[in-house]
Structure 1
Amino acid sequence: MAEVAKRERRRAARAPGAARAVDTAFFVFGGVAAVWLATLLLQESLHWRMIWFSLVFWAVLAYLVLPRLHRILTRVYLPDYFIGRARTSDGLLGDPVNVALLGTEDQLHATMRRAGWTRADEVDLKSSWRIIHSTLTKRSYHEAPVSPLFVFGRQQDVAYQQEVDGNPGKRHHIRFWRCPPDWVLPGGARVDWLAAGTYDRAVGLSLFTLQITHKIEEDIDRERDYVLASVRSAEPDIEVRVIRDFATGYHSRNGGGDTISTDGDLPVVDLRRVSTDPADRVPEPTDSRDRRPAPTTFGAVLVFCRGLASLAFAAALATDGSPLGTAVAQQGLRSLLPAAAAVVAAFGLTEIAMAWFIYRGGNRARVLTMSLSALAIVVQFVNVLSGGPGISFATNLLGLALDILLILALSSERARTYARRRDALTATEPRAP
């Protein structure tokens, strides 16, 4: 029994290297395929009757192609360790870390609540739609979500904000990350939390990805000092010491391309004497890497819809009364219809099952699904190179786009991290005797 356990541990230790290589291949392949898709969409939008399609081209370029290219490049030139900056989900350097704290989570929440800050909602479909609607209509949304930034390889544990003049486009906001156990700052200081506070001054386009985003105030020290002043007004007895010139490098622009300037000082706020009450207690937060990410859900939905489409196609094949079944029967292939319909139906049912496993965080289902989509993309590309019909709306542009979207979603950092952690959790669960 002990020998079996040892073999399982050795196999688990070897797996991550191979898994990373496979994921890296799909990650790069998805980026290249996305560039091809953007080129095809640009060609479609150049026709006068399709000029409106330039909006689709912009959306694909801003939210799929450029983020993936940035993610690939930043893996090459950005160091994979803490340098005093958060990172965006695209891998770009985000806002500088400009506040550190000592204390429990209850003390953090108590202090921010008493200082007049509002906890931001988590980013989901409901909150995303609400922030878009509030921004367009200029209606107040005090709990508006903030975009995810990453430190320690995970997004913020909690964020707080203060809306300005009832306009969700302008706000004070600060993100907090819990430090790993026994982690120390460069220089040896120990803290419990790191934070990044900035001021949103307007809504605009990102310089690096062309996405719609908030633009921040250049002088981030002003926002850091504002946070400290609000906290001190609520808790006059807290102690603050400053680490001078903590972070002075990599401070030119943030992930949205906004110019930033700072003196690099890092105040360490000691909240350990702050009193708490039951209202300040919150459930233990889950690691953001264990929350089902939107790309995983999106990929599962795409596979599920593909399965439903296959079942509909199988039904059309099996029904002589349908246009498709009649057309096949007229070619003298009526005897093949039941077998063909059965094969297509089996494929559709398999796709639906795969969608469920992907949604649940199954890594094998994720990799197999990406493999099938990659094969379909390569076949179409080779067909075009061999003189076949070009890819357009008249051929299979929609099908190609869905395959590329599927690979982009399931090969994303958040999707693969979620699947790996779910697999690791399953592997450590005790097996029934």
Structure 2
Amino acid sequence: MNHTTLDPSRPRKRRLRRAWQLSLVLIGCYAILAYLALPMFWTHYEHQSKLADMPMVTRTAQGIPGDPINVGLIGDQHEVVCAILAANWHPADPITLRSSIAIAGSVLLDRPYPDAPVSSLYYLDRREDLAFEKPDGRSADRRNHVRLWKVLDSGQEGRPVWLGSATFDRGVGVSHYTGAVTHHIAPDIDAERDQFAADLEAAAMVDAKYQITGVGPTIAGRNGEGDLYYTDGEVWILRLTEGCKKRSSPAEILPSPLATEIKDQIFRTVTNAIEPGASAP
């Protein structure tokens, strides 16, 4: 009489194999959902279709992905400069030996330098066309700042289109990637985007505003210096008043698709859970 000896480890191996197979299926479903299906629902350029194929991240001089694009302006250069100056932001000085010494003195000695230079970032293979800042305190250690690139001579409204990256410098330190002395940015780049927009609106320089898809929802992004950032991934486009004339009523807000609004609400809930108040408007 033959007796078959059963391997007591076989059921356990089968369970492990099935668990591994199920894990692969779940990971695959997540990847399809997160990177293919859901972005198709909230990707939108209905108000500025010519921006659909443009990259939404800047680059450093070394080619490292830099700060994401998160703001845009509609208007010619005179209107852009006039609107930002009206919002009490200052044009950044060019980087020279003199300005480099001046910003070092500002940070070390806590001296005012509202026009301090900003490091260059690159978009569409060129450095920023314009850069502005607004100090947060006495020195250039902490400041709001924005870099802007003209990307279209004529957009959907028949006016020039600018894209930019607005971030908040929270202090001077050393780059996580290169070891160079640099400013570190605050992680909530949506807050700086919203601050820039609010300042221009408060100056009555905005006719209308709307969103387009930017870099996409990101919880653990890294810029060109290795600084952490998070964002709902939207770019707020501000249509400036023509001829730098002040608007007598609040800016019109053009609606985004429902899927985008739902995504933004979910993202705010997630970021507020991580850091309460981080994404408050």
Shorter-chain TM-score: what band?
0.5 to 0.7
Instruction: Select the residue among 108, 117, 121 that pairs with 1:136.
Output: 108
What is the aligned partner in structure 1 of residue 230 from structure 2? 261
- Once the two structures are TM-superposed, the CA of residue 110 in structure 1 deviates from its matched residue by 0.9
- Once the two structures are TM-superposed, the CA of residue 183 in structure 1 deviates from its matched residue by 8.1
Q: TM-score, normalised by structure 2?
A: 0.63
Distance 1:190 1:86, change over 3 A: farther
Cα distance in structure 1, aligned partners of 2:148 and 2:200 = 15
Q: What are the within-5 Å matches in structure 2 for residues 21-420 of structure 1?
A: 82-181=54-153, 192-235=161-204, 238-244=207-213, 247-248=216-217, 252-275=221-244
Cα distance in structure 1, aligned partners of 2:69 and 2:186 = 15
Check conservation: 2:74, 2:238, Cα contact below 8 A: yes
- Once the two structures are TM-superposed, the CA of residue 244 in structure 1 deviates from its matched residue by 4.8
| Greater RCO, 1 or 2 (C-alpha within 8 Å, sep 6+) | 2
Check conservation: 1:98, 1:224, Cα contact below 8 A: yes
Q: Which has the larger helix fraction?
A: 1
- Once the two structures are TM-superposed, the CA of residue 181 in structure 1 deviates from its matched residue by 4.2
* Alignment gaps of 5+ in structure 1: 1-80, 278-433
Q: Any idea what SS the aligned residue of 1:260 has?
A: strand
- Once the two structures are TM-superposed, the CA of residue 83 in structure 1 deviates from its matched residue by 2.6
- Once the two structures are TM-superposed, the CA of residue 252 in structure 1 deviates from its matched residue by 1.2
- Once the two structures are TM-superposed, the CA of residue 89 in structure 1 deviates from its matched residue by 1.1
Distance 1:232 1:274, change over 3 A: farther
| Matched residue count | 193
Check conservation: 1:110, 1:276, Cα contact below 8 A: no
Q: Looking at CA atoms only, which structure, 1 or 2, has the larger radius of gyration? A: 1
Q: Any idea what SS the aligned residue of 2:171 has?
A: strand
Q: TM-score, normalised by structure 1?
A: 0.42
Distance 1:249 1:262, change over 3 A: closer
Check conservation: 2:173, 2:184, Cα contact below 8 A: yes
Check conservation: 1:134, 1:168, Cα contact below 8 A: yes
- Once the two structures are TM-superposed, the CA of residue 248 in structure 1 deviates from its matched residue by 3.5
What is the aligned partner in structure 2 of residue 68 from structure 1? none
Distance 1:191 1:133, change over 3 A: same
Percent identical pairs in the alignment equals: 34
Distance 1:195 1:141, change over 3 A: same
- Once the two structures are TM-superposed, the CA of residue 237 in structure 1 deviates from its matched residue by 5.1
* Alignment gaps of 5+ in structure 2: 1-52, 247-281
Aligned-residue RMSD, C-alpha:
2.5
Check conservation: 1:100, 1:191, Cα contact below 8 A: no
